[in-house]
Structure formats: C-alpha cells, structure tokens
Structure 1
Amino acid sequence: MNNIMEMIAEETGGKSFRTFKYSFDSIRVPSLDYDDNNEIIWKDIGETEKHKSPKDLSELAKSISKYKPLFTYFLDGSRRVFKVDDISYQNQVFPVIAGQIGIGCCKRESKEIKPFKFERCSVICLPKIANKGGWNPQLFFSNLLQKINSNMSLKKNNIEFTNILTYKYLRNEGENLENKGIAVIQDLMIDKEKEMTAFLASKNLLDQNNYLLKDGSLEYRVMSTGNFRELRKIRNNYRWVVGVSKSFNPEKCLDIKGKNNSNYIANLKLYNRTPVSKYTSKMFGDVSFAIWYVRIREKRYTSNAFDGVLKLERILVTDEEIEHGLDSEEVDFITANIINERNPVCYGKDFRWANHLYPVFLTESYVKSKYISNTLFLNIF
C-alpha cells in the first residue's frame, strides 16, 4: 500500500473518504489567542513588600546591563495541526487529525543564542473506536504505528511518526470532533514542554544564576494523559523558571472588588512593573503563582493599549514563598533582566514585535524552521 490512509483503514476496519486535506491554521478566521488562561484577582499580595503603585525599574535595568544576564535557557513549544481525511466506523464519520509538534530549547553562550535541544513529534490522531477488536489500546495502536512507519513513502522522505493518539467520542454529546483531536495534540505538546523543563532541572542546569525563560503561561490545564498530569507534583522543576506571556486577556484582570483592572495595566509607564499578585490555581488546588506585569515598549510606538506589556509568572515553591510571596528584590531583579532582553527587536518579522523578547523570538523561529513543509506532510497521506 502506498497511501497511509489506506493502511489505517485496512488495519482498523474503517472506510477512508479521501477528503480534502488542509492545515487548520490556513482556513480558520484569525482570532485572539491568549497565552494565559486564568482570572487574576488582585487580592493577595505575592511579594514581601507591599507596593501600592507601579515600580520604576529603569535604573536597575541599566545598572545590571553590564553583568551576565539572568536568563541562560529559552523554551518554546509549538504545533501545526492538519485535517488529513475522514474515516467511518459503525456508520459514523470521524475526522482524522495529524500534526507536527516542535519543542525547542536555546542556550545563551557568551552573547550568542544557540540551539541546545530539540524534539519533533509527528502524530496521527484517530477516534478510540478505531480499535475495532477492543484489544489492549496501547498494544493495538503501537502495532499500527509500526506498520505505518514501514511505509516506503515515509522511509523515502525520512519521515517517522512518533505517536498515534486517540480522542473520545460520546454519542450525542455535540462537541466538535475536530476540536477534540486538536486538543489531544495540544496536550502532547504541553507534556513535551514539561519533559524539556524536567530534563534541564535533572541535569542541574538551572539555578539562581541560570534561569529558564519559557514562552507562555506556566499554568497548564488539567490533562487526562501524559507523564505530568499534575503540576504540583513537578513544581520543583520550575524553581528557576519564569513564564512570559506576550498576549493576555485583559478582561480577566480583576481588582480586589472583582472589577476589571485592565486600565491599571494599560497605563503602566515604560519599564514600570505592577505589584505582584499571588494566585492559587483552581485547576491544581495547592499550586500558587506569583504574577505581575511590566511595560517594555513606549506606548506611542505601539498600536493598542496592551502592546509592549508582558505578563510574568513564577511558581511559588517553598513554604516561605507560599506564605509571604516572592522576595521583592528577586522580583525586581527578574523584571530588570526581562527589560534588558527587549532589544534588538523583531519589528517587521512578527506582528507581535512589541511584546517579543528577542531570545524568545529566536527560539520560536528555530522551532518553526525544523518543521517538515506543509505540502510534504499532507502529501504523505
């Protein structure tokens, strides 16, 4: 058999419809995708000093600029997801979703940002009902994966699938099945990000002088699969990790009375940070986060109120941090280092330029450069 979908249909007892293949990124209406996913109520102070107004860190950022930067490692995870076919089982048609996942880590050596570690996953996502005989799912889909990877077309193009994932189907539930497949691939990407962080921590590469800067929020949603299902079980891996969100939902920033507080963030002056708020995740129960915002670009050079503002996160690990918050001097030092990462800019290369930190932009570009082209990936199906 020359076609992967023919092989899948034969092995699972389904019928391939050879439907139009496309990338989800190319057909969906552009929308705002926020890096964060929580509601922050500015009720609990998340640092040792009680600041009532923003703090100017321009002088601190300038004074430390001649020393070694705090951030040594930079992490980014991304994925590309495709609809590759429809397949039927028991008179029901299901979408077949496939994707590429890239997890990249770059390291600063002297003044250069260099690739450090990369992992790429090529995956196929099928409905669980594809296991027609009710065999052990892990064994069944593992055998299917081996047969798919024996395809001569894959070998010719030096392509190998790493995972066959599955999504649940409940009759009459009304949920979009394509979205369920995409969510499963997203979960694997998140798990791979955690694995990369765990690797760095296990090799003792992260410490008070060598932080990891992760692109995006540190608050992962609850997952039903993967090696790291509960963030609280691995929070020690995040002792020296800061999450930076380029885009955040301003409607979820609430003050002590539960009213929208986004105006306070939008009016931050250049190189000013907000007081730190302590947020306990509803998803993980006893995991607390320190969250604050900083402006790294002048408002007059940006196109909307929140361009140039970053949301920063750190997990509170020790009992002292959980009770009293982060040391305010540490918050200032982290934030000043973030300010110093703002240049050079990627203006013209990315519409999010005002919120990009250049090492993060380089890491993101590195990950995307490792993808198989969309055309080649779709043609193998």
Structure 2
Amino acid sequence: MVAATALLALAGCTGHERGEVALTVSRSGCATEWHDPHGGEQTFRVHNVGINTTEVELVDPANGAVYAELENLGPGATRPMQVTLGRGRYAFRCLPEDTDAITSPTVTVTDGPKRGAPAIVPVDEQVLRGPVDTYRSSVQHAFPTLRRDVRRLAAAVRAGDRAAARRAWLPAHLDYERLGAAYGTFGDLADAIDRLPAGLPKGVHDPGFTGFHRIEYGLWHGESLPALRRPADALSADVTKLVAQFRTERVDPNDLPLRAHEILEMTLQFELTGEADQGSGTTLATARANVDGTVAVLDALRPVLKSRFRGLPAADAALHKLRTLLDAQYRHGIWTPVDELSAAQRRAIDGAAGEALERLAPIAALAQVRRAQ
C-alpha cells in the first residue's frame, strides 16, 4: 500500500517517460540503481528480487521523514511508487522481514520544484508513550462514573422498577461507549459488556447475549424484571472486573491512531443504521458518545499530530459538525430514534459522519509506529 498522505498521483505515466526509474530491493541491497535524480513528478518501479517481504520507503536521510512508501512488497513482486520530488537529499530505506534495515546511498535533487511531496516524520513508541498515558488516564478517570451508573442500573432492576431501570440504562451505556479507543484492551470483557445478538445461534434468546444490550432488549420488550436480575448483576460484575484488569493491561500504541477513525466506522455501521437498537431508540445518543470518544483520542494524539497532520483543523471541524447535527436530535430529554429521522436529516447526519471519517482516515498511517532498523 502506498501512503496516500505522502504522495501525489502521477497521471498518464508510462515506462518510457523520463520520470520512471526501475529499482531492485532484497535483503542485501536497496535501490542502488538510482544515480540520476531529478525533481518533479516521478515513478519508481520497485522490484523485489529477494526472498523476504520488504517495506520500501523514500526518506529524508537527515531525519528519516518518509516521503512515500510501499508496504509488504512480496518476493518477485513489482509495484510503482509515485511521488513529487522537490530539491533536496533523498535515500531509500528497505526493511526486509527478519533482517536488518538497509539504506541506499543518498542522492541530491538540484532541479524541479523547491518543495515536493510532504514528508511524514516517523513515530516510534517513545513518541506515542505520552498520548497513550494521557488516554489511559482519561479512561481511568471515567471508570468511577461508569461503575456508579451501572450499579444504579442493577439496583433499579433488582428493585423491580422498570421506569427507573430504563432511565438508568442510557447514562451507564453512554459512559461505556465514550471509552471507544480502549476496546482493544478489554478483551473478552468487551463482548460480555456490549455485544449485539447478531451472529449468535439463538439471537436475542442466546445465553451468550449479555451486557448492556441484553438488558436493553429486556427492558423495552416487556421481560419481567426478575428475569433481568442475573444479566444486570453480571454486567456490574464484569465492569468491576474490567476496571481492575485495566490497571495492568498494556495499550498497544498503534491502537490509538487506528481507533481515531475506527470508532466512527462502527458508529456508521451499527448506530446510524439503527442495527444496534434493541428497543430503546437511543442509537443517536450512542453515536454522540462515540464522537466524544473520538475527540478524546484526537486530544491525546494532538501533540503528535500538530506537526504531522495538516488536516487536523478540518478533522476537528468535521467532528464539530457531526456533533451539532446529533445534538439537534435531542429534544426535551428524548433522543430521536433513527427510524424517525426524515430523509433529509438522515442524509445530513450520514454525510457528516462520512466526511469526518474521510478527514480522520490519514491519522492511522501518520501516527503509526514505524520500524527504523
């Protein structure tokens, strides 16, 4: 995959144009054929003559900033790398699997535009440690509210008060949904706490259907409150277990930039379609909580992204637009069910979610931990 954030597409380029250079890579050599560099639009046709799958990057040899890359170039494969070169110094860095990185000789481009494609300053685990710690702290800060609200829900169920249980369900569920970037750390507890019945052999009647949505289904489908005591108590116990385990669980640094767009991908698939609704009609509230979760990820990553992602203000604006449209569907203490939206309202919300996803998509590549050696 070529990093789109670092490349400009080259239209109509053929093998006979001046801008195309054939290069070979292997575990013992890296693009040594590049002897006559020039500026402007260019295509490197990279052929892996070795036996190891290899990543190939065009870099600034001074600081390792990446102008373009090819991921997972397999043995025998040839792929184009397209880039606009400005005046400056360049080198190729090859990272074969199971062996050390190799860097080509440095070349200097003296013609063409003063500036070419933007470079991505590489991120390592040390750079992401601060954002990960910030995010972990925000999750731990949110846990007491989650535990309190889940206990209120369980207490209302045990008391046999359906109206109180319905009122308690949504705040507790939204507490959990705002923790979106931490799901990868929750393991099996994530399913126990928030799974949907789709895919279970018996659907909503399957013993494996547990957690928030199991209770939602029962509360809004007339199940007796005594029948919901076990699911409610199990949810409370699972949340308590989650809080205890999270203290020692490691957050994968790459999860944070990945979740910057994945949270909203799931929102678009499950919440904005109404697929996640088990009777409460509150999936727009969940979508709003997911926006909060995405903003929390961006805020944690902001120190890393400020110098790497020129699209950050546009991403912030897109999230604000989506948040405003969702907030408009909360009136007099009630959220509009998705199936009661007008066609125009649905188009506006879906369009805003799609725009936000598009703006957020580059973050996963820009802020991923890159191998340097």
TM range (shorter): under 0.3
TM value normalised by structure 1: 0.27
Whichever structure has more strand as a proportion of its residues is: 1
Larger gyration radius, structure 1 or structure 2 = 2
Higher relative contact order (CA 8 A, sep 6+): 1
Whichever structure has more helix as a proportion of its residues is: 2
TM value normalised by structure 2: 0.28
